[in-house]
Structure 1
Amino acid sequence: MNKRQTASTEDSGEAVKKQWARHGKNEKDSNPAMMPFSYAGLALGPNQIRLMKLKDGSDNTKIEFELHTKERGRAEYHALSYTWGSPVGDQEAICNGQSMMITTNLQLALSRLRKVQKDAYLWVDAVCIDQADPDEKSIQVRRMSEIYRDAAAVIVWLGEENDGTGLGIQLLSNLCRAFPSSNGDDIRSLYLDHSSLPTAEELDKAGQLDKLGIPSDTTSAPWQAAAKILDAAWFGRRWILQEVARSEKGFFRIGSHETTPEIILGGAYRILSLPELNHALDHNQRRNCIRVESIVQLLRMQQSSWLHESLADILLETANFESSDPRDRIFAILGCLDTTVPDHLVDYTKDLTEVLTSVAMCESERDTDEYFLSLLRGLCYVDKVSDTVPSWIPTWEFSSPAWLSLWDVVEADAVDVAQMEVSISVDRKRLQTRAIIFDRVATVSDPTFERDGLPMARDDPDTQERQFSRDYDEKCDWLVQCERIATGVADASLETFLRCYLFGVDLEEQDFDFVNAYQTYLRMGALKSAVQAGSGNLHPAHYRQRCRRLNVQPQLDMPGLDDAKDADADETIAVDEYSRAMSKVAYSWFETEQLSPRERYGRRFFASQNGRIGWAPQAVQAGDSLCVIFGFAVPFAIRKVKEEDKSGPGQYRLLGACYVHDHMVGEIFLDEELERSTIEII
């Protein structure tokens, strides 16, 4: 054994003792004959993994297992996919006759599995990798996609069961049968052709929903049980993406229940696809269903390979998944790529800054067009900046789960690599480029209004209506704030503001009056607000007051409303009249929302000192500068850190890409009066 391995195993033993101390334990608290487990004697060769063999035991006995070193491909095994929970082990297990601390969730999983897997080998990351040895951990994590691919099956542990777990699994199964995939049952090819499927509402009206085993009452026990299943922390874990994607065969365990990915993932996918039913879930459960949608999309894409997907795109598409170690935002995704990943990328001896820098620099060879294009793409993925990471390097953290890169709205002729003048310092901390600083931000709106799109689960209709009205109120206030920034500070027309709101959509090409739809939407908000203020009745005075606040005229065709005099402030109008008026605008605003781009999310509306308007990163403040860099027409927001002097160019922090209305295809470069300069982004 070399010195490095000896030091590593000593550190491992000390780590276990420290874990005992954190939990108020020491060696005397366990079997006096047992010492803390050490990986000494179980060193891994170049093509080896460790495998666990569980020993049988009763419910009240400690978990006991043997740990063996095996050549990859020489032993059949199952791989466990689960959530660690606490990173610190608080349950004592017996490994090779020695004491090992494991997490509570792993202890629960192994307690169940030792009854059915006692003669089989298991691969469990927390045990089969020496987590205290960063070198070993780096090597084994690089192989994890192969470890899960080569497993006889992947066992997904969602947690312990409760009294209704069986009902929940049955409901998810019934949903899969009621709304079949047009591509067969395999979860890897799941596709719902909604044009050929009945809606849940149609089935309910025909009395078929309950006959199919899907209770129309979403507060019933089966729905509550299914919701509980979908509450599992496993769905939000980032590592599950490669664990599920790479597995050839798998099954789910919830306590003593065993079921298939087709039922758990397929059922969750269908709930998300059925708006008439998904209000049975709370916010976290529906967020998990959205994650399931990402998993299904990943599986579907792997059928045709992710070969042509860039790492940047995959990191953005999977931003909704979580990891306790920020470096795992990168490491957990690399196994999903079909391209060869350089070994140096997965390295737990590097800190987060080093890892992020390696990713930013790795996508192609230096001094090639592809290299410069990857740099440009990376700049477009900058959103949340960190004081510890150079601002031109994406952290892959975003201001909104719905955040999108502006790279996708870049015109093809907005990029001219031949014009780029970019260099990166030897220490990889500074990016120097030629640029034009053309404007400064004058004012910004509040962050884009966005509810997470989740229903108010299990609330009664009145509570849901009140929440909807509050959200509607807030959305209207935010829209008018943006409108006033555009029409007031920037002196833009309402039509120009609305085109900017839609990222340049030509309103004249639309088959409805977008301006009227927008103003009618605001009037609808005024009506809802007035009804809430009137405890269910509509007061004309409240309505007119709210319209003035929203900068619209009260022009809905409602008898007795628009021609009511101020003196008739106490006059009320029945809610059914109000509802009929609401229905007049519902469709036109729905059409409008379909045009509404997600690129707004996680950004702020702004006006510049020279009257430009657009969308800027959430971190932007009044006084920040707008620039374009040579070879790329998309503007960026930057913040000055240091003035230019004899020692070098001015230094800036990059805040992210901006949408500047009518300035996205190189218009800035045509203005020869604007100064060209060299800047340094740090």
Structure 2
Amino acid sequence: MPDAKLYSLLPHRRAIRLLRIKSGTGKKGIQITLETFDLDSKTQFTALSYVWGDATSQRKITCNGHKKLITRNLWGVLSQLKKQRFDCLLWVDAICINQNDEEEKSFQVAMMRDIYKRAAKVIFWLGEQGRYDEDAVNLMREFFKRYPKRLDLERNRVKTLKEMGLSYFDQRWYGWASLCCRPWFRRAWIVQEFLNAKESVFMSGALEISSKLLVHCGYATGVCVAIREAVLGHSTGAHEIEKYILRFQALRIYQFADDIRIFDLWCWSQQLEATDTRDRVFALLSIQTAVNMDMIDYRKDEATVYTEIAIKALSIPVPRITSTGNTVLTSTHRVHTNDMRRVSRFLACKFRSPQSSNLPSWVPDWKPIGFWFVPLTRYYTGTATFTYPYDHAIVKDKTLSISGIFWDEPEIIIDSTPYMDQLSQTIAGKDSDNQKTAKYMLDWMYQCYIEAMSISLRSVEKVDSGRFCRAMAFGVHLEKTVTPDKDYMKGFQALYRKFESLTGKARYHPSFLQSYSEPSCHGEVYESRFSELSAGRKFCVTKKRHLAWVPKETKPTDRICLLAGCAVPFAVRPVGQQYELLGDCYRDDMVEEKGLEIPREPYLFEFL
């Protein structure tokens, strides 16, 4: 029966539909009623958060006397609630929104933040109960009693399970891993649904799990190395579970955030999935208070949506200083911002891929790229400022104009290995072909070392082993270090030795490795920084004899520039008199949290 018979036009823009499950025997199947209510009224209702599941696998229910098809996963939720004699009003997007009406869908989706905020309770449905779920929850409860606070977890980051009073051989870790891998945690919409819920509970079949407990223990999996190893060790899908762990961490962190930047939303979106690629933006916009929900419009195509959010990320109208020193207001067709870090962080989200060809080069692509790409502005937060007057950021006709200078050029670019984008799996020994990968990485690391050391032969510039090892970790500070260069060298050795343990002795060794036989207390941090930041980038030597990392699409004919207000340099590609933005770069003279003051007159770059 066509859905058109179920849905009449909503009376106004704040109206919603709510359903009620009819009680009765299972012989009649699932029967529901659907009614219209004012969202701003005091009507009490529960909202459901779930995974739609396979759209081709459907079951029938009866809605207001008409047959309606829903996904098997949603049918499972309603069936479980019926067994529990759930008689409250319920909001379910697939039923309460007319999915065939694009206009209604747009304004209803724009209201979802309010819907989840106004719900008396939100149910997060994880699916049918698994065999080990109850055991996992019991283990989580034991752990939570020991470490009830977030700070407690972070203090135990490097402790062993034995020191934490836990056993690696406890089979309940398998259930813990299984819960972490539920498809619910990769949905794009979970962020707004979770953060806007004032009261919530997770359900795995009939098993109810406290939201506080599950998210707390998921966060523990991310920050406590021993727990992560235990969970990974009891899981057959180690690569996938690493992604889920990151999602857990983000949920826990965002609980404490007053507002979330569009930059952070883009980073978060890499780990999420959506059937409609526009939902990767729409699902996250509702937790960004600076964004007008009117942007949500399913009549717009993907490129338009991505470009509009990019302009929004840059757009705060402010006064600007002219070359004569006078202050003028920007015209209506120009967009300026006085938040320099806003521009820096957002442009650093740019990862160029063949899929992005229909977008302006400066617009971040929200589609998944197959690996975890970390913008350098996560660690480098300073800004570049000019002593001369400059225009900071102007957007007109999809062209971004921003002041900057040419800073350097790539000279020797060392191709990244085909395995670097998934390097964390090799380091953990979880890659299915890690012996081949490790051998490739050892040869690659030695090639980088030789090119770095050869700088001293080609110029008066001196490059020592400490500088090289620091550059391989992108110059990011190691924790509690007293002798930085020595600790960078120990960290590099730990990484090198780990690859050797996977493949046997390397053919070549950087000479300095022989000096450090003791294990490094910073090895895990060094490995982590290298694996997360090298993904999507290539190591290179620049014409000014610096060690650098550039976007993987960079060619020797490209340029490295500093842009006004940006914390990191960017690789750009000349296209006639204009440029394409390739992505952020690292150079070995960069310092975390330290800005640059540039006493040169800037050039106005126009990015297509």
Paired position in structure 1 for 2:234: 280
1:237 matched to 2:179 = no
Alignment CA distance shift 1:636-1:196 (3 Å): closer
**Structure 1: tracts of 5 or more residues without a match:** 1-33, 183-188, 210-214, 458-462, 534-542, 558-580, 644-649
Once superposed, what is the RMSD of the aligned Cα atoms? 3.9
Letter in 2 for 1:393: V
Whole-angstrom CA distance in 2 between matches of 1:417 and 1:98: 70
Letter in 2 for 1:110: L
Paired position in structure 1 for 2:161: 200
The answer on whether the counterparts of 2:133 and 2:176 sit within 8 Å (CA) in structure 1 is yes
The answer on whether the counterparts of 1:42 and 1:69 sit within 8 Å (CA) in structure 2 is no
Paired position in structure 2 for 1:18: none
Paired position in structure 1 for 2:573: 639
Letter in 1 for 2:582: L
Paired position in structure 1 for 2:5: 38
Whole-angstrom CA distance in 1 between matches of 2:597 and 2:546: 12
| Cα distance, 1:380 vs structure 2 | 2.5
Larger radius of gyration: 1
Paired position in structure 1 for 2:169: 217
| Cα distance, 1:155 vs structure 2 | 0.9
1:481 matched to 2:447 = yes
Match of 2:581 among 636, 654, 667: 654
| Cα distance, 1:332 vs structure 2 | 1.3
SS at match of 2:581: strand
| Cα distance, 1:133 vs structure 2 | 1.9
1:608 matched to 2:542 = yes
Paired position in structure 1 for 2:148: 181
Whole-angstrom CA distance in 2 between matches of 1:89 and 1:50: 25
Paired position in structure 1 for 2:207: 257
Alignment CA distance shift 1:452-1:115 (3 Å): farther
Alignment CA distance shift 1:367-1:68 (3 Å): same
Paired position in structure 1 for 2:412: 443
Q: Percent identity?
A: 26
Deviation per CA, 1:114-169, whole angstroms, max 9, x where unpaired? 22354211100111112222221221122111111111211111111244433333
1:346 matched to 2:313 = no
1:71 matched to 2:41 = no
The answer on whether the counterparts of 2:386 and 2:600 sit within 8 Å (CA) in structure 1 is no
Letter in 2 for 1:48: A
| Cα distance, 1:417 vs structure 2 | 9.2
Whole-angstrom CA distance in 1 between matches of 2:158 and 2:586: 39
The answer on whether the counterparts of 1:49 and 1:70 sit within 8 Å (CA) in structure 2 is yes
1:296 matched to 2:255 = no
Match of 2:483 among 503, 506, 510: 510
Paired position in structure 2 for 1:570: none
1:227 matched to 2:177 = yes
Whole-angstrom CA distance in 2 between matches of 1:456 and 1:556: 23
Paired position in structure 2 for 1:330: 281
Match of 2:50 among 65, 69, 82: 82
1:394 matched to 2:353 = no
Alignment CA distance shift 1:585-1:609 (3 Å): same
**Structure 2: tracts of 5 or more residues without a match:** 321-335
The answer on whether the counterparts of 2:470 and 2:489 sit within 8 Å (CA) in structure 1 is no
SS at match of 2:113: helix
Whole-angstrom CA distance in 2 between matches of 1:254 and 1:466: 31
| Cα distance, 1:384 vs structure 2 | 3.3
Alignment CA distance shift 1:198-1:512 (3 Å): closer
Q: Map of 1:52-63 to 2, 5 A cutoff?
A: 52-56=19-23, 58-59=25-26, 61-63=28-30
**TM-score normalised per structure 2:** 0.81
Whole-angstrom CA distance in 2 between matches of 1:78 and 1:519: 52
Paired position in structure 1 for 2:509: 550
Paired position in structure 1 for 2:464: 494
The answer on whether the counterparts of 2:488 and 2:526 sit within 8 Å (CA) in structure 1 is no
Match of 2:122 among 150, 154, 159: 154
1:312 matched to 2:263 = yes
Alignment CA distance shift 1:225-1:660 (3 Å): closer
Letter in 2 for 1:290: L
Letter in 2 for 1:98: H
The answer on whether the counterparts of 1:153 and 1:247 sit within 8 Å (CA) in structure 2 is yes
Paired position in structure 1 for 2:399: 430
| Cα distance, 1:192 vs structure 2 | 2.9
Whole-angstrom CA distance in 1 between matches of 2:552 and 2:253: 29
1:680 matched to 2:588 = no
Greater Cα shift, 514-523 or 159-168: 514-523
Whole-angstrom CA distance in 2 between matches of 1:610 and 1:512: 22
The answer on whether the counterparts of 1:384 and 1:397 sit within 8 Å (CA) in structure 2 is no
| Cα distance, 1:392 vs structure 2 | 1.3
SS at match of 2:556: coil
Alignment CA distance shift 1:376-1:112 (3 Å): same
The answer on whether the counterparts of 1:625 and 1:639 sit within 8 Å (CA) in structure 2 is yes
SS at match of 1:200: coil
Alignment CA distance shift 1:518-1:484 (3 Å): farther
Paired position in structure 1 for 2:196: 246
Alignment CA distance shift 1:621-1:39 (3 Å): farther
| Cα distance, 1:230 vs structure 2 | 2.5
Paired position in structure 2 for 1:528: 501
Q: Map of 1:362-373 to 2, 5 A cutoff?
A: 362-363=312-313, 364-368=315-319, 371=337, 373=340
| Cα distance, 1:663 vs structure 2 | 6.9
1:169 matched to 2:137 = yes
Alignment CA distance shift 1:156-1:651 (3 Å): same
The answer on whether the counterparts of 1:612 and 1:660 sit within 8 Å (CA) in structure 2 is yes
User: How many residue pairs are counted as aligned between the two chains?
Assistant: 569
Whole-angstrom CA distance in 2 between matches of 1:587 and 1:190: 21
SS at match of 1:131: coil
Whole-angstrom CA distance in 2 between matches of 1:611 and 1:147: 57
The answer on whether the counterparts of 2:384 and 2:564 sit within 8 Å (CA) in structure 1 is no
Whole-angstrom CA distance in 2 between matches of 1:196 and 1:518: 18
Deviation per CA, 1:549-572, whole angstroms, max 9, x where unpaired? 234378479xxxxxxxxxxxxxxx
Letter in 1 for 2:32: F
SS at match of 1:287: helix
Paired position in structure 2 for 1:404: 375
Greater Cα shift, 288-297 or 52-61: 52-61
Deviation per CA, 1:83-116, whole angstroms, max 9, x where unpaired? 1123457322222122222111111111111223
SS at match of 1:92: strand
SS at match of 2:83: coil
1:355 matched to 2:305 = yes
Whole-angstrom CA distance in 2 between matches of 1:193 and 1:486: 36
Letter in 2 for 1:92: K
Letter in 1 for 2:194: V
| Cα distance, 1:433 vs structure 2 | 4.4
The answer on whether the counterparts of 2:278 and 2:305 sit within 8 Å (CA) in structure 1 is yes
Alignment CA distance shift 1:527-1:173 (3 Å): closer
| Cα distance, 1:432 vs structure 2 | 3.4
